[in-house]
Amino acid sequence: MEIKDLLINLHNEVDAFCLKERHLEMIREAFPGIRIVAVSSREDFLARLPDAEWVITWIFKSDWYRMAPGLKAVFTPAAGHDWAHPDPTGRVRNFYGRFHGRIMRESLLAMILFFNRRLGRMLENRPNKIWDRHDYDGAVSLFSQHVLIVGYGSVGRQMAEILRGFGATVTGVKRDIRGFEHDPFAARVVTFDSLPEELPLADHVVLVLPGEADTEGIFTASHFAMMKKGSHFYNLGRGNCYREEDLVNALRNGPLAGAGLDVFATEPLPSSSQLWELSNVIITPHASAIGREYLDLYFRDWIEDVRGMP
């Protein structure tokens, strides 16, 4: 695919999500002679949009397509459609990032190891200078555990890859399991209606679901009640998939021993949330994919994708 002109607006309050000179150099090296216009404000972006053919952006609203009659493609590093909406007419091609799992899987692994290796207890003991090796009697290794990943897409499979490297048994949950009969990372892949059989077996249950209408409240109080006593719950997808009060109840009254949460129904998480009060909960501010390499990974994929486009 020949690409001559590119409009980029990747300004963000998170520095790791902002365009850097090294990213521009990556593009120029891959496509010599390309004309790049990089802007840092929505106003400037919209002013240049009527003449744009290719854009890379965080935000693209549905009604903006009418402003760009010559637009051919909208690219975004984001994995979901939350900010860069697809063209409702289908005229413009939309491309979303697919690299996030390489960072997010390390965030998940950190949470799991925090609980497995009882690092919370270590943090509690240190201020009081307590040397208690008995605290670690309950430590457990991933190679003896079962991880259930609900939302076994690109991110979920990359998580499964690293967990399998630690020896964990992984089960994936997907809407459509065709083609996953012999997945290289999961021992098996099942549909959502198999959760009643799978949840009692899992030591760690991971949600990596999109924030769509059909995932609203999909994980219910009954699902929490089915989980193994002493198991852990993680959400690195979207915060609409369960009710916070159901999770809090499972953490306070069982069966859950802890939770690692990166996303929430309301963000930032309100100070009134009961989750802040629970010592067995890890809270990160929708940051599981944030890292220095974020846009480096994205632009490597983007260059490969553009080169392969017809």
> Quick check: is 286 catalytic?
yes
Q: Do domains 5-98+292-308 and 101-283 have the same CATH topology?
A: yes
Indicate if the pLDDT at residue 307 is higher than 80: yes
To the question of pTM greater than 0.85 for the whole model, the response is yes
* From 117, 121, 286, 300, active-site residue: 286
At residue 170 the predicted structure's pLDDT band, cuts being 50, 70 and 90, is very high
Closest CA to 101 of 257, 1, 245, 206: 206
State whether the Cα torsion 190-206-266-225 is positive or negative. positive
CATH architecture of 5-98+292-308: 3-Layer(aba) Sandwich (3.40)
> Quick check: is 98 catalytic?
no
Residue 217 · residue 243 · CB < 8 Å? yes
Q: What is the CATH number of domain 101-283?
A: 3.40.50.720
> Quick check: is 238 catalytic?
yes
At residue 303 the predicted structure's pLDDT band, cuts being 50, 70 and 90, is very high
At residue 1 the predicted structure's pLDDT band, cuts being 50, 70 and 90, is low
At residue 310 the predicted structure's pLDDT band, cuts being 50, 70 and 90, is confident
pLDDT (tens digit per residue) in 78-137: 988 889 999 999 999 999 999 999 999 999 999 999 999 999 999 999 999 999 999 899
At residue 220 the predicted structure's pLDDT band, cuts being 50, 70 and 90, is very high
pLDDT of residue 147: 99
At residue 237 the predicted structure's pLDDT band, cuts being 50, 70 and 90, is very high
At residue 290 the predicted structure's pLDDT band, cuts being 50, 70 and 90, is very high
Q: Where are the domains of the chain?
A: 5-98+292-308, 101-283
pLDDT of residue 3: 86
pLDDT of residue 80: 82
* From 25, 124, 245, 267, active-site residue: 267
Q: What is the mean pLDDT of residues 163-192?
A: 97
Indicate if the pLDDT at residue 146 is higher than 80: yes
CA distance 174 to 180: 9
Q: What is the mean pLDDT of residues 56-72?
A: 97
Indicate if the pLDDT at residue 2 is higher than 80: no
CB atoms within 10 A of CB 160: 26
pLDDT of residue 135: 87
Q: What is the mean pLDDT of residues 33-62?
A: 97
Indicate if the pLDDT at residue 44 is higher than 70: yes
